[in-house]
Amino acid sequence: METQNFKFETVAVHAGVEPDPSTGAIMTPIFATSTYVQPTPGQHKGYDYSRTANPTRTALETSIAALEGAQHCLAMSSGCTGTDVLCHSLNAGDHVVSVDDVYGGTSRLFRTVWSRHGIETTFADLANQDLKDFVRPQTKMIWIETPTNPLLKIIDIERVVAQAKKLNPRPLVVVDNTFASPYFQRPLELGADVVLHSTTKYLNGHSDVVGGAICFNGKELKEKLHHIQNSIGGVPGPFDAWLVLRGIKTLALRMKRHEENAKEIADMLEKHPKIERVLYPGLKSHPQHEIAKRQMGGFGGMITFFLKGNLETARGFLEKVKLFSLAESLGGVESLIEHPAIMTHASIPAEMRAKLGISDTLIRISVGIENVEDLKKDLLQALG
């Protein structure tokens, strides 16, 4: 269905989804097939092999592209595969400037994998530092994550894009939009070239899939990135694609509730005597609150805070929560809590973590869609 003239909630339900022509099934079938029969060599209906394309995956790609306002989307086997495919588009000798506070796995890929293939990455605090101080003639990609993981810094996308546009050659500006989701932030409309998602998180929303996606405009980029993905693999299976497609239908409802709950919890935590500092883009105390207000439609469901005390205080607290599950990941309907220094960001060297401020007392929560009073009670009893 053409969804261009519809609002976000309608696009989330309908984009990419057509009744199945052979049966009328309203839900996109799970095309569990690796290959497609051809009546004569080279003649097919747009599908010849499922690494190259699969109809369930196409439906998902159409849906995510519509949500991000992109011409194209490529669904990936994970968020990290999306990052990897983009790195594969660079050449040895190229340089990347990345936001310093990014998901541990993204940092690991730049630092320990692509560095061995001649692609160097400089990490910069683009919330407080200028891109121009870090670029080189070889800079081909700018990597932005906003809000960042785990410190929830907000990077001014338009500002970075404006600086990138002045460079020659003009680097690709990529925005990891996993934390905000397209419901709260649409980076392509702010001038970014590529949006990346770990669909494992809010897009799927039910903690039962690992997946990713990249969205962008232009035939040339589509051909280049699809060629890379098709050459190296890294595609989601049809069942995973179908699960994410189903999850997306409720994205708007979920994001609204995640945010409502998160705002209340952030307010509560900010007043609590055992908490040193709360980082939530929706709080007036957040250093980039004004930028978040301008570039986002809402502040999301992730909160980071520092407990007063030490590692043992943090451990004690994390062992006491009952409704919040102590687990990596985020963006599911259920509330999660974690310790970035030991869990999601353990792959970042200790001195780099210390410099960033990912300390032993830092806690990250992914606020779910449960009843907020139950969630508040759980945190309060654990704080003691």
The residues that touch ligand P1T, with contacts defined as CB under 6 A, are: 78-80, 103, 105-106, 145, 149, 176, 178-179, 198, 200, 210, 212, 328-330, 344
Residue 91 Cα distances to 8, 108, 111, 228, 276, angstroms: 37, 19, 16, 13, 45
- The number of C-alpha atoms within 13 Å of 265 and in the hemisphere containing its C-beta is 34
Q: Burial level of 47, CB count in 10 A (0-12/13-18/19+)? A: middle
Of 1 and 113, CB closest to ligand P1T: 113
Query: What angle in degrees, to the nearest 10, is found between the helix axes of 311-320 and 372-383?
Result: 140
User: Is 156 tagged catalytic?
Assistant: no
Q: Which of the following is catalytic: 84, 94, 101, 176?
A: 176
Alpha-carbon 241 to chain mean position:
16
Rounded to whole angstroms, the Cα distance separating 194 from 189 reads 11
Of 56 and 177, CB closest to ligand P1T: 177
**Among 243, 239, 202, which Cα is nearest to 336's?**
202
Two tokens, residue 271: 């007043």
Give pairs for 192-198: CB < 8 Å, separation 24+: 192/144, 192/157, 192/161, 193/217, 193/221, 194/86, 194/221, 195/68, 195/70, 196/79, 196/82, 196/83, 196/86, 197/64, 197/79, 197/82, 198/78, 198/79, 198/80, 198/82, 198/103
Q: Which of the following is catalytic: 57, 140, 201, 257?
A: 201
Q: Which of the following is catalytic: 103, 183, 202, 280?
A: 103
Residues 212 and 81: beta-carbon distance below 8 Å = yes
Of 24 and 233, CB closest to ligand P1T: 233
Q: How far is the CB of 300 from ligand P1T (least distance, A)?
A: 12
User: Is 36 tagged catalytic?
Assistant: no
Q: How far is the CB of 336 from ligand P1T (least distance, A)?
A: 8
Of 3 and 149, CB closest to ligand P1T: 149
Of 125 and 328, CB closest to ligand P1T: 328
Of 145 and 378, CB closest to ligand P1T: 145
Of 17 and 173, CB closest to ligand P1T: 173
Amino acid at 287: P
Q: How far is the CB of 107 from ligand P1T (least distance, A)?
A: 10
**Among 131, 93, 138, 144, which Cα is nearest to 114's?**
93
User: Is 176 tagged catalytic?
Assistant: yes
CB-based closest residue to ligand P1T: 79
Q: Which of the following is catalytic: 51, 159, 224, 246?
A: 51
Query: What is the secondary structure of 23-79 as a DSSP string?
Result: T--SSPP----SB---SSTT--SS-SBTTT--HHHHHHHHHHHHHHT-SEEEEESSH
User: Is 201 tagged catalytic?
Assistant: yes
Q: How far is the CB of 339 from ligand P1T (least distance, A)?
A: 11
Which positions are annotated as active-site residues?
51, 103, 176, 201
